[in-house]
């Protein structure tokens, strides 16, 4: 590396430095305004960027599909047998659950509970992952034009995936359940103890702030509490695998294995209105999927 | 013509970074192609163009990430500007020196991001530095140096920079 005579006109260099300095000052003096302005300008940009993004995502999905269909078929026979056994077991469980569902229905009628509207949801496809390595996020092919806004909950039929943190006109960014920056109100299904579910650095989740007297144990299921945020009550979050109780601590915490494999999720549902909001807005009584991905 | 080139580059950068690179990641770490592109453009076109293209790349990539906007603008714009200075002041930029600069910039950016995370204690921050920030900085440097080396095999880069 040799030092050389600078051939750059001083004017250009000064302009560049002045621009950069001005931008720095503006960002630090008016962070929210600058962020808001750039986010607003990013709305229409999202439509333009979505075109190559969706094209490459569909090619990528096509290749992955072929791979799964033809190449990665090793061990499928064993897996099939295992799944058949699971189906048998689940059939037994299913009939029991139907019984208890019927009983619940009768009891609900007896108690004259208010009929609650189920949430309105929008189906979306995963078209990418976070542009950096520092966050665990997924990018969806639906955005503001489809009614998606920041803080909306994102789920699959299996359980919670995360929540929307950023939107453009045609896409949105979802912070996954396993990201340490995420926090969702959770409830241990068996003991009814509440806590906060946060992601861990290892890509799992943990339930924090569980009361010391809670009788939780490994294998307990954690669901959304529905008290905070845009998630309705009772959506599956994960299963407790390890309990941590420190000497002198005010609370205990537990490690969870998320119910949804967020690393492989391809289609999701974005919750637009929760139970309460849906009933206020007079929405239908069924889970409404506005559009397909 | 140049504008069209930048437009295509930025439009392609988003799907490559968010859709294709996760498949090519090494231990779940992928390089920041935005940083590399801003550095190379700054090096060949000068401070102002490097800064403007870097800022645009930072802004657009940030729309598809949960990261902080100011950090993305600062990093990508800054590296474009820095590479512009480097290109003007240093007569013989090598793949090695460019890679070194990219490692440093990526490290600074990663450290700023780690400090900016709310609620992180020292052990969590250290974990982030050793398992994400440092490997990514190395990867960024390697990819940047690799691109520069490939370009130098194909074109006369000293003449390209002088033009």
CA distance A136 to chain B (A): 8
- pLDDT tens per residue, range A216-255: 888 888 888 877 667 888 888 888 888 888 777 788 888 8
For an interface test with B, the pick among A23, A27, A55, A134 (most B C-beta atoms closer than 10 Å) comes out as A134
pLDDT band per the 50, 70, 90 thresholds, residue B161: low
Would you state the pLDDT for residue A107? 66
Residue A169 CA neighbour count, 13 Å, CB half: 13
Is some CB atom of chain B closer than 8 A to the CB atom of A25? no
- The 10 Å CB-count burial string (b at 16+, else e) for B8-34 is eebbbbbbbbbbbbbeeeeeebbbbbb
- On whether the CB atoms of residues A129 and A139 are closer than 8 A, the answer is yes
CA distance A97 to chain B (A): 40
CA distance A264 to chain B (A): 12
Considering only residues A72 and A45, tell me which one the structure prediction assigns the higher pLDDT. A45
DSSP A40-74: HHHHHHHHHHHHHHHHHHHHHHHHHHHIIIIIS-T
Residue A268: both structure tokens together:
């999701």
Using left for φ > 0, alpha for ψ between -120 and 50, and beta otherwise, residue A32 falls in alpha
Is some CB atom of chain B closer than 8 A to the CB atom of A265? no
Q: How far apart are CA B153 and CA A90, in angstroms?
A: 62
Neighboring chain A residues of B94 at a CB cutoff of 8 Å? 1
A183-258 CATH fold: Thrombin, subunit H (2.40.10)
What's the whole-number average pLDDT of chain A?
Answer: 77
Neighboring chain B residues of A45 at a CB cutoff of 8 Å? 60, 63
Is some CB atom of chain B closer than 8 A to the CB atom of A264? no
Residue A274: both structure tokens together:
């929760």
- On whether the CB atoms of residues B11 and A52 are closer than 8 A, the answer is yes
Would you state the pLDDT for residue B163? 52
Answer whether B90 sits within 8 Å of A2, measured CB to CB: yes
**pTM surpassing 0.90?**
no
What's B139-163 look like in SS3? HHHHHHHHHHHHHHHHCCHHHHHHC
Percent of chain A with pLDDT over 90: 2
For an interface test with B, the pick among A18, A132, A180 (most B C-beta atoms closer than 10 Å) comes out as A132
Task: Residue window 63-92, chain B: list those with CB within 8 Å of chain A.
Answer: 63-67, 69-70, 73-74, 77-78, 81, 84-85, 88-92
Q: How far apart are CA B124 and CA B122, in angstroms?
A: 5
Would you state the pLDDT for residue A246? 78
Average pLDDT over residues A256-275: 81
Answer whether B66 sits within 8 Å of A165, measured CB to CB: yes
DSSP B20-89: IHHHH-BTTB---HHHHHHHHHHHHH-HHHHHHHHHHHHHHHHTTSSS-HHHHHHHHHHHHHHHHHHHHH
- pLDDT tens per residue, range B17-61: 888 887 777 787 888 888 888 888 888 888 888 888 888 888 888
For residue A1, pLDDT over 70 is answered with: no
Q: Which among B22, B59, B89 is the nearest to A4, CB-wise? A: B89
Q: How far apart are CA B18 and CA A128, in angstroms?
A: 5
Q: Which residue of B has its CA nearest to A3?
A: B90
Of B97-106, B110-119, B143-152, the poorest mean pLDDT is in B110-119
Q: Which among A48, A57, A130 is the nearest to B66, CB-wise? A: A130
Answer whether A168 sits within 8 Å of B63, measured CB to CB: yes
Q: Which residue of B has its CA nearest to A263?
A: B22
Q: Which residue of A has its CA nearest to B12?
A: A52
Q: Which among B17, B47, B118 is the nearest to A131, CB-wise? A: B17
Closest by CA position to B14, among listed A186, A279, A48: A48
Residue A215: both structure tokens together:
């009788």
pLDDT band per the 50, 70, 90 thresholds, residue B109: confident
Task: Residue window 194-213, chain A: list those with CB within 8 Å of chain B.
Answer: 201
Spell out the domain ranges in chain A.
11-70, 183-258
Answer whether B18 sits within 8 Å of A128, measured CB to CB: yes
Cα Rg of chain B (Å, integer): 15
């Amino acid at each position: 590396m040799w030092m050389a005579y600078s051939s750059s006109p001083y004017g250009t260099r000064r302009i560049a430095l002045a621009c950069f300095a001005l931008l720095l000052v503006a960002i630090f003096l008016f962070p929210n305004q600058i962020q808001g302005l750039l986010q607003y300008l990013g709305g229409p940009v999202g439509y333009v960027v979505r075109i190559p993004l969706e094209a490459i995502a569909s090619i990528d999905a096509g290749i992955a599909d072929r791979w799964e269909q033809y190449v990665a078929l090793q061990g499928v026979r064993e897996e099939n047998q295992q799944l058949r056994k699971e189906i048998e077991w689940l059939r037994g469980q299913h009939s029991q659950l139907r019984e208890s569902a019927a009983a619940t229905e009768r009891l609900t009628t007896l108690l004259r509970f208010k009929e609650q509207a189920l949430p309105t949801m929008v189906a979306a496809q995963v078209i990418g992952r976070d542009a950096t390595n520092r966050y665990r996020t997924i990018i969806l092919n639906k955005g503001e034009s489809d009614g998606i806004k920041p803080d909306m909950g994102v789920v699959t039929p299996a359980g919670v995936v995360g929540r929307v943190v950023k939107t453009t006109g045609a896409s949105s960014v979802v912070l996954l359940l396993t990201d340490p920056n995420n926090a969702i109100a959770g409830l241990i299904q068996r003991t009814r103890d509440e806590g906060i579910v946060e992601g861990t650095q290892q890509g799992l989740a943990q339930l924090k702030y569980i009361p010391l007297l809670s009788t939780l144990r490994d294998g307990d299921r954690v669901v959304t509490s529905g008290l905070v945020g845009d998630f309705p009550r009772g959506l599956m979050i994960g299963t407790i695998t390890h309990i941590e109780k420190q000497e002198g601590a005010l609370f205990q915490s537990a490690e969870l294995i998320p119910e949804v494999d967020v690393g492989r999720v391809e289609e999701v549902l974005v919750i637009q209105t929760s139970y309460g909001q849906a009933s206020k807005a007079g929405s239908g009584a069924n889970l409404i999927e506005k559009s397909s991905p | 013509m140049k504008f069209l080139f930048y437009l295509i580059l930025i439009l392609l950068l988003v799907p490559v970074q968010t859709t294709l690179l996760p498949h090519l990641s090494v231990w779940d770490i992928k390089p920041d192609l935005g940083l590399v592109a801003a550095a190379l453009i700054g090096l060949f076109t000068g401070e102002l163009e490097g800064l403007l293209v870097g800022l645009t790349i930072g802004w657009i990539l940030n729309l598809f990430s949960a990261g902080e906007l100011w950090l993305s603008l600062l990093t990508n714009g800054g590296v474009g500007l820095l590479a512009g200075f480097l290109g003007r002041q240093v007569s013989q930029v090598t793949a090695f020196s460019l890679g070194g600069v990219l490692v440093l910039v990526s490290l600074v950016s990663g450290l700023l991001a780690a400090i900016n995370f709310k609620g992180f204690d020292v052990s969590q921050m250290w974990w982030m530095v050793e398992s994400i920030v440092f490997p990514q900085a190395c990867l960024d440097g390697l990819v940047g140096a690799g691109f520069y080396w490939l370009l130098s095999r194909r074109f006369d880069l000293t003449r390209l920079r002088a033009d």
